């Protein structure tokens, strides 16, 4: 398995974990009204972008063999 193909499941797992942590943080902030809101980058679009980049790299690598 090439490095691109091996990295795709790892990136998805990390993205899912970050998304869960963000949702937990958002839920905690909603219960605590005194906490100032922070601007955070959404995990799902960044994960999709990273997977798309890995897919392009994988296709390029496998088509050049």
Average pLDDT over residues 4-22: 95
Q: Which of the two residues, 39 and 14, has the higher pLDDT score? A: 14
pTM value > 0.75: yes
- Each domain of the chain, given as residue ranges in start order, spans 1-11+43-65
CA distance 38 to 57: 34
CA distance 29 to 35: 6
Indicate if the pLDDT at residue 12 is higher than 90: yes
pLDDT band at 31 (very low <50, low <70, confident <90, very high): confident
């Amino acid at each position: 398995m090439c490095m691109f193909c091996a990295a795709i499941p790892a990136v998805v797992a990390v993205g899912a974990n970050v998304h869960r942590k963000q949702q937990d943080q958002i839920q905690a902030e909603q219960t605590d009204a005194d906490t100032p809101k922070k601007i955070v980058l959404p995990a799902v679009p960044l994960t999709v972008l990273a997977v798309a980049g890995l897919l392009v790299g994988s296709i390029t690598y496998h088509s050049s063999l």
